[in-house]
A and B are shown apart, each in its own frame.
Chain A
Amino acid sequence: MCCCGASHLIRPAHSGSVRAVQAGPVTRRRFVAGAGLLVAAAVTGCTDSDDPTAPAADRTLPATEATGTGTGQDIDPTTPPDAADADLVAAVLQDEDRLVTAYRIHGVGRPDLRRELDTLADHHRSHLRVLGGAPAQAAPTTPRVSPAVGVRRLRQLEAGAVEQRRRDAVAARSGDLARVLAAMAASSAQHVVVLERLALTFGKSDRS
């Protein structure tokens, strides 16, 4: 049995063992998973000597909060990227900053949208911080389009960001940077879903 008694999502029912997953950064050398990966929950410093298929102790996955993937707010900036990744990081920073600005523009004077859009913009601010950047502080201009059009434009921008970050993740030399870029792609994909839901609420109020 697992020594630390942490809860696991899903594990082979016949086995009393849990494949060990420790907290720590993932590198190529340290990567591991196992069927127990799905069960990786928050297992810290816990190894299982009963299970011959358990990964070696030095091969780890990041422990995450049992409730989910976290906000990214507390993630340390990635290790200095490969010099070969410098141009890539610069381009991503520029793109993420444009997204933050777009959210600020389309949230101006729209209290009904503001809260939802602020949450999504905060994610992009986290992306900037993780890559060592900071959002520009330019004052946003008042949007010249309706909220419905604004949401549609944001959705378009996010859909473009999904594809671009996916390509960036594959292109990155550093594995850790690739992981962050892939997570950014996933974040923008979540934003697309949220913005589509928002667009639907506009559709409903238009009909009423």
Chain B
Amino acid sequence: MTEGRETLQQMLAGEHAAVYAYGVLGGRLAPGTPLQVQAGEAYIEHRARRDALVAMLRAAGAEPVPAEVAYALPAPVDVPAQARRVARQVEDRCAVLYASVVAAETGRTRGYAVGALVDAATRGLSWGAEPVALPGVGRR
């Protein structure tokens, strides 16, 4: 159970970071443009996952990890191409995170991570990523 809580916390920490990143993207992109709308949608989707994970942790009697005050993005996101790249990286890292949870967990938590991995992989395409054979599983 403790281990299951730990992986829930890891997923939550990842979603905190993703929510932050999309918040920044949404603020930097020109208002009302398709790209900004897309960033807003991604923000909402990650926020929903964050809230679901918070609820799962509370239900398990654990205190959810808080978000950091701020996160450093890997690159500026001042122009659309940069924003797309950062968004692709966010989804890619989410995919790796969730794939790892799938391997580490069983049952309901694993099932949740499988769904989140599928979502991250398809959302990545919407930011211009190419489809790959095994999203979230890198080369070794």
Q: Which residues in A have some Cβ–Cβ distance to B below 8 Å? A: 7-15, 23, 25-28, 31-35, 37-41, 61-65, 68-76, 119-120, 122-123, 126-127, 130, 162, 166, 169-170, 175-176, 178-180, 182-187, 189-194
Contact = CB atoms under 8 A, between A and B. Distances in A.
Given A179-B103, A182-B102, 9 more contacts: A9-B73, A9-B74, A12-B70, A26-B100, A33-B97, A38-B17, A69-B138, A169-B110, A190-B135
A187 B121 contact: yes
Nearest to A74: B139
Interface of B: 7, 10-11, 13-14, 16-18, 20-21, 65, 68-74, 86, 88-90, 92-107, 110-111, 113-115, 117-118, 120-122, 125-126, 129-140
B114 A190 contact: no
A26 B122 contact: no
Contacts of B98: 182
Nearest to A176: B103
Given A62-B140, A68-B88, A190-B121, A10 B21 contact: yes
Contacts, number: 233
The 6 closest A-B pairs by CB, nearest first: A64-B138, A72-B133, A33-B10, A31-B104, A186-B121, A35-B13
A76 to B, nearest CB: 6
Contacts of B131: 119-120, 123, 187, 190-191, 193-194
Contact of B102 (A23, A37, A175): A175
A120 B101 CA distance: 26
Contacts of B70: 12-14
A173 to B, nearest CB: 9
B114 A69 contact: no
B125 A187 contact: no
A170 B125 contact: no
26 contacts: A9-B86, A10-B89, A11-B71, A12-B72, A15-B68, A25-B140, A31-B104, A33-B11, A33-B14, A61-B97, A61-B100, A64-B96, A65-B139, A69-B95, A70-B139, A71-B132, A170-B107, A175-B106, A178-B102, A179-B100, A183-B136, A186-B117, A186-B135, A187-B121, A190-B125, A190-B135
A65 B16 contact: no
B138 A37 contact: no
A182 to B, nearest CB: 4
B7 A186 contact: no
Nearest to B112: A170
